[in-house]
């Protein structure tokens, strides 16, 4: 045999050893990759189970459930611009150099309030060259590039291009003085200079949580139309837990009775409170009290001052005997009577403006003056005493937020 074709046994053995080492190395690398893959899967599973922000499951769910479709957008626009001409079915341009056609299913078309055409490029997929060709052929076409996934940004760009008389961002509207309802939305739209006079003001909310139905109806009655293109079902009414008690009487004694009744404090009417006893001093002297009650080991007297200095002196003498005297004057209102009584009883409640309800994200709030007692209603609810007039629509709104309105 030609020596050139002979194999060196040492070389064969060396090659075999290298081959075995390569196989071992490949197996180790495969195990490392498998461990890394399992570790990545475990981390992903842990993130999904904990619903950490940014997890794949959470993002997928949010995107698929939250992004409005073309029908929602078109239905919203038809409500916002009901008098606009129908949008063109398709968009195409022809010239000697090119023919251009835009698929309306991928790039919807809307008609603006001023008659212009809006083209929605919500996916941002319209090529720059095509955009340039469109605007060269028809400069009046306005291209909207924001995605409905960001509802507020999308609506802002859409409304800014909508050809309206006025578009205001983050407006706040107030209804009434006391009680007062405040409504906050993302946009306020006026189609013309006469929109306010014609009750054609539009409030637009990009929130996913809808306004309560009664609030929407109330706004409509005030000449304001609320549109919520991305909202789901409105919030459901909550169980009744609280009370609003409105006094219709201007009699001071009845106001005192109402306050004491709310505090579950029994009182005696027209009681004669002894200042001096005959058996002790040989002199009997009593003072007339409109209301007398005891609470927390202390004695209280509610009396009326008519301007007689002798009567005032008697009241001060009662205080030296340990009585706490609440002196009412003819000019005292519900506010004053409540403040005097509660202050004398060292209670933290006082007559002031209280917020009774508020919407998610600050969409709306309802405020009213009165005296608020926490945990005074059965079941741990609160009780508000007020002298403010509450219109029926406001009462219904309070009812949906867990308040029962009563008059006494």
Q: Give pLDDT tens digits for 241-291.
A: 999 999 988 889 999 999 999 888 999 999 998 888 877 777 888 888 899
Of 202, 227, 252, which closes a domain?
227
* Residues 154 and 107 both lie in one domain: yes
In a domain, 320, yes or no: yes
Q: What is the pLDDT of residue 27?
A: 55
Q: Are residues 152 and 136 in the same domain?
A: yes
Q: What is the pLDDT of residues 299-322, one digit of tens each?
A: 999 998 888 888 889 999 999 989
Both 105 and 156 in one domain: the answer is yes
Same domain, 137 and 118: yes
* 213 is a domain residue: yes
Whether 21 maps to a domain, the answer reads: no
Asked whether residue 314 is assigned to any structural domain, the reply reads yes
Q: In 10 A of CB 396, how many CB atoms?
A: 16
- What pLDDT shows up at residue 68? 58
23's tokens? 């196989």
Are residues 74 and 156 located together in one domain of the fold? yes
Whether residue 311 sits in one domain with residue 277: yes
The chain-wide mean pLDDT, for the chain, equals 81
- Do 222 and 190 share a structural domain? yes
Residue 264 located in a structural domain: no
**In a shared domain, residues 75 and 156:** yes
Question: CA–CA distance from 394 to each of 214, 282, 289, 356, 381 (Å)?
Answer: 9, 61, 39, 11, 19
Verdict on whether the full-model pTM lies above 0.85: no
- Is residue 374 in some structural domain? no
Q: What is the pLDDT of residues 28-39, one digit of tens each?
A: 544 554 444 444
What does the alpha-carbon distance between residue 106 and residue 142 come to, in Å, rounded to a whole number?
16
Does position 17 have pLDDT exceeding 80, yes or no?
no
Is residue 46 scored above 50 in pLDDT? no
My answer on whether 155 and 77 are in the same domain is yes
Q: Residue 308 has what pLDDT? A: 85
Please report which confidence band the pLDDT of residue 15 belongs to, taking 50, 70 and 90 as the band edges: very low
Q: Are both 137 and 186 inside the same structural domain?
A: no
Q: Which residues of 88-122 are buried (b: 16+ CB within 10 A; e: fewer)?
A: eeebeeeeeeeeeebebeebbbbbbbeebbbbbbb
Q: Which domain holds residue 172?
A: 166-227
Residue 16 has pLDDT above 60, yes or no: no
User: With pLDDT > 70 as the criterion, what percentage of the chain qualifies?
Assistant: 82
Among residues 284, 317, 332, which one ends one of the domains?
A: 332
pLDDT at position 33 is: 42
Number of domains in the chain: 3
Do 213 and 141 lie in one domain? The reply is no
Report which of residues 285 and 226 the model is more confident about.
226
Burial of 47 (0-12, 13-18, 19+ CB in 10 A): middle
> Same domain for 140 and 181?
no
Domain termination residue (choose one: 311, 332, 353): 332
Q: Is residue 365 part of a domain?
A: no
Residue 8 lies in a domain: no
Q: What is the pLDDT of residue 32?
A: 52
Alpha-carbon distances, residue 349 vs 28, 87, 338 (angstroms) = 75, 60, 9
Greater pLDDT, 354 or 194:
354
More confident residue, 388 or 36: 388
Mean pLDDT lowest among 50-64, 306-320, 341-355: 50-64
Number of C-alpha atoms within 13 angstroms, CB side, residue 34?
6
Q: Are 107 and 117 in contact (CB under 8 A)?
A: no
Q: How many CB atoms within 10 Å of residue 85?
A: 10
Q: Is the pLDDT of residue 214 over 70?
A: yes
Model confidence over 151-199: pLDDT tens digits? 999 999 999 999 999 999 999 999 999 999 999 999 999 988 888 888 8
Q: In the structure, what pLDDT confidence band is assigned to residue 1 with cuts at 50, 70 and 90?
A: very low
Residue 273 is predicted with a pLDDT of 87
């Amino acid at each position: 045999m030609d020596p050139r074709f002979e194999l060196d046994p040492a070389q064969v053995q060396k090659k075999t050893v290298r081959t075995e080492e390569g196989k071992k190395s490949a197996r180790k690398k495969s195990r490392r990759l498998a461990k890394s893959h399992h570790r990545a899967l475990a981390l992903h599973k842990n993130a999904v189970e904990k619903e950490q922000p940014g997890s794949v499951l959470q993002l997928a769910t949010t995107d698929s459930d939250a992004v409005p479709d073309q029908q929602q957008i078109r239905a919203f626009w038809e409500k916002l611009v009901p008098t606009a001409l129908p949008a063109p079915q398709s968009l195409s341009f022809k010239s000697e150099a090119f023919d251009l056609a835009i698929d309306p299913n991928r790039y919807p078309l809307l008609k603006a309030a001023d008659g212009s055409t809006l083209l929605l490029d919500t996916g941002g997929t319209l090529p720059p060259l095509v955009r340039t060709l469109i605007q060269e052929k028809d400069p009046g076409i306005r291209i909207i590039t924001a995605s409905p996934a960001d509802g507020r940004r999308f609506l802002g760009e859409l409304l800014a291009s909508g050809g309206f008389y006025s578009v205001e961002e983050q407006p706040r509207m107030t209804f009434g003085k006391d009680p007062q309802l405040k409504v906050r939305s993302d946009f306020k739209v006026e189609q013309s200079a006469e929109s306010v006079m014609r009750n054609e003001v539009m409030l637009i909310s990009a929130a996913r949580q809808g306004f309560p139905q009664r609030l929407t109806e109330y706004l409509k009655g005030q000449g304001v139309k609320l549109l919520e293109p991305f909202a789901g079902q409105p919030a459901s009414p909550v169980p009744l837990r609280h009370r609003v008690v409105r006094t219709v009487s201007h009699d001071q004694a009845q106001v005192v009775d109402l306050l004491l009744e709310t505090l579950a404090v029994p009182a005696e009417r027209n009681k004669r409170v002894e200042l001096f006893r005959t058996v002790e001093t040989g002199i009997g002297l009593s003072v007339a009290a409109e209301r007398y009650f005891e609470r927390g080991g202390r004695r209280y007297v509610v009396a009326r001052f008519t301007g007689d200095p002798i009567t005032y002196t008697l009241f001060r003498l009662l205080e030296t005997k340990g009585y706490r005297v609440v002196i009412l004057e003819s000019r005292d209102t519900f506010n004053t009577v409540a403040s005097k009584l509660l202050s004398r009883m060292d209670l933290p409640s006082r007559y002031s403006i209280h917020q009774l309800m508020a919407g998610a994200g600050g969409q709306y709030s309802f405020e009213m003056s009165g005296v608020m007692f926490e945990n005074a209603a059965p079941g741990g609810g609160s009780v508000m005493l007020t002298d403010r007039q509450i219109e029926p629509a406001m009462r219904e709104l309070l009812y949906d937020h867990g308040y029962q309105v009563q008059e006494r």
